[in-house]
């Protein structure tokens, strides 16, 4: 049976990857443009450029990008993560504005006329926004389900009640149902709608590895690191942008661990091939040893030159350089 190339949102943990190839990113974005799917286009671009979770992206407002007088923000500090409740300061690149301008040109939307509105319209979202929660008394989950024709299982209803009792933000069950449960359902439905379109784009691009909407967020981190491979601060910045608790989580998340594991296995295969050919020593001798910051590397070279010019013993010069490397190596 052919393995499913596209990982849809399922229960449990589904392993998906960043978009490993630049051509895949290009082809996916162009699919949205060529099919006049401009909401999908901008969602895709914001995911790639800001690295937010898909649920947070589809619920962005124009006020997240603009000030009230129309000036463009150079950072976003108003998006509260649906999953964690955390707020992250996210710098806005020029490419974000190029994508927004492209979207506005094709949709003819005026952000200032919709300043406090959600960027991406969606019928269930509009219905939810227009509903006045104060005019409808939801005394319990059963009344709410009947009023909105929600076909929830007994288990789902029990979980809603349990979660309501644990939280402290909303006093009444009606407020909690409207602002939390229904909000989450709206987000889920809109993200599912986007995933269906992304699946078409992925299939059209003939991508053979497992990807989903989450791959866009992973690609944000993967390609930032890929374009700054020797910057020791890169992973620390990504950890902060992702709100991860440690660097290893970030490395696993953006695919660096997977990529390294694949490279290690491939290198080991080449090593075994050379061993069988009697050339294993050639690979062992050429193994990299340490990583250094570029500034530290420059200082070591300068010190070596200075010691040589001073006529110091070559062995001492060498040992001094090794000591400096060990002191300044990046772990």
Which helix H or strand E contains 269, and what residues bound it? Answer: helix 256-276
Q: Give the pair of three-digit tokens for residue 276.
A: 């069988």
Residue 321 inside a domain? The answer is yes
Strand partners, 66: 72
Structure confidence at residue 74 (pLDDT): 94
Mean pLDDT value of segment 25-39:
98
From residue 191, give the alpha-carbon distance in Å to each of 125, 196, 237: 12, 9, 27
Residue 4 inside a domain? The answer is no
Q: What is the mean pLDDT of the chain?
A: 88
Q: Give the pair of three-digit tokens for residue 230.
A: 């020797």
Q: Do 75 and 217 fall into the same domain?
A: yes
Q: Do 98 and 231 fall into the same domain?
A: yes
pLDDT in tens, 217-232: 999 999 999 999 878 7
Q: Do 57 and 160 fall into the same domain?
A: no
Q: Do 171 and 301 fall into the same domain?
A: no
Q: Do 110 and 223 fall into the same domain?
A: yes
Q: Do 72 and 149 fall into the same domain?
A: no
Q: Do 52 and 113 fall into the same domain?
A: yes
Residue 133 inside a domain? The answer is yes
Q: For the chain, how many structural domains are there in total?
A: 4
Residue 243 inside a domain? The answer is no
Mean pLDDT value of segment 12-24:
87
Structure confidence at residue 286 (pLDDT): 57
Q: Do 94 and 216 fall into the same domain?
A: yes
Degrees, nearest 5: CA angle 55-60-61: 155
Structure confidence at residue 126 (pLDDT): 87
pLDDT in tens, 193-217: 999 999 999 999 999 999 999 999 9
From residue 329, give the alpha-carbon distance in Å to each of 289, 305, 320, 322: 10, 20, 14, 10
Domain that holds residue 261: 257-287
The rounded distance, in Å, linking the Cα atoms of 76 and 88 is 8
Q: Do 301 and 215 fall into the same domain?
A: no
Q: Do 98 and 191 fall into the same domain?
A: yes
Q: Is 72 helix (H, G, I), strand (E, B) or coil?
A: strand
Q: Which of 20-29, 80-89, 289-298 has the highest mean pLDDT?
A: 20-29
Structure confidence at residue 83 (pLDDT): 84
Q: Which residue has the higher pLDDT, 270 or 246?
A: 246
CATH number for position 55: 1.10.443.10
Q: Do 194 and 108 fall into the same domain?
A: yes
Q: Give the pair of three-digit tokens for residue 292.
A: 């250094």
E runs forming strands in the chain: 75-76, 90-91
Q: Are 204 and 140 in contact (CB under 8 A)?
A: no
Residue 194 inside a domain? The answer is yes
Structure confidence at residue 225 (pLDDT): 94
Q: Are 65 and 111 in contact (CB under 8 A)?
A: yes
Residue 203 inside a domain? The answer is yes
Structure confidence at residue 4 (pLDDT): 43
Structure confidence at residue 266 (pLDDT): 87
pLDDT in tens, 232-245: 789 999 999 999 99
Mean pLDDT value of segment 119-128:
90
């Amino acid at each position: 049976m052919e393995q499913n190339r596209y990982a849809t949102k399922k229960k449990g943990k589904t392993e998906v990857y960043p978009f490993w190839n630049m051509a895949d990113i290009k082809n996916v974005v162009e699919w949205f443009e060529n099919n006049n799917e401009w909401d999908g286009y901008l969602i895709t671009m914001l995911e790639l450029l800001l690295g937010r979770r898909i649920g947070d992206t589809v619920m962005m407002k124009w006020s997240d990008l603009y000030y009230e007088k129309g000036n463009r923000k150079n950072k976003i500090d108003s998006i509260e993560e649906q999953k964690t409740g955390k707020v992250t300061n996210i710098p806005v690149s020029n490419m974000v504005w190029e994508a927004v301008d492209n979207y506005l040109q094709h949709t003819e939307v005026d952000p200032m006329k919709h300043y406090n509105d959600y960027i991406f319209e969606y019928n269930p979202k509009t219905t939810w926004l227009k509903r006045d929660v104060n005019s409808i008394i939801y005394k319990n989950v059963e009344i709410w389900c009947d009023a909105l024709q929600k076909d929830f299982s007994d288990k789902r209803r029990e979980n809603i009640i349990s979660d309501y009792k644990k939280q402290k933000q909303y006093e009444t069950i009606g407020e909690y149902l409207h602002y939390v449960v229904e909000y989450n359902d709206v987000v889920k439905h809109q993200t599912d709608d986007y995933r269906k379109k992304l699946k078409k784009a992925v299939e059209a691009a003939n991508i053979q590895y497992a990807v989903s909407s989450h791959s866009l967020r992973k690609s944000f981190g993967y390609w930032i690191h890929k374009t700054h491979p020797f910057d020791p601060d890169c992973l620390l910045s990504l950890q902060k942008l992702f709100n991860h608790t440690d660097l290893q989580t970030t490395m696993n998340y953006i695919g660096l661990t997977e990529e390294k594991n694949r490279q290690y296995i491939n290198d080991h295969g080449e090593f075994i091939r050379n061993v069988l050919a009697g050339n294993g020593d050639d690979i062992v001798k050429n193994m990299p040893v340490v990583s250094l910051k570029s500034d530290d590397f420059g200082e070591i070279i300068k010190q070596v030159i200075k010691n040589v010019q001073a006529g110091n013993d070559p062995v001492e010069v060498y040992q001094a350089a090794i000591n400096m490397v060990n002191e300044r190596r990046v772990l």
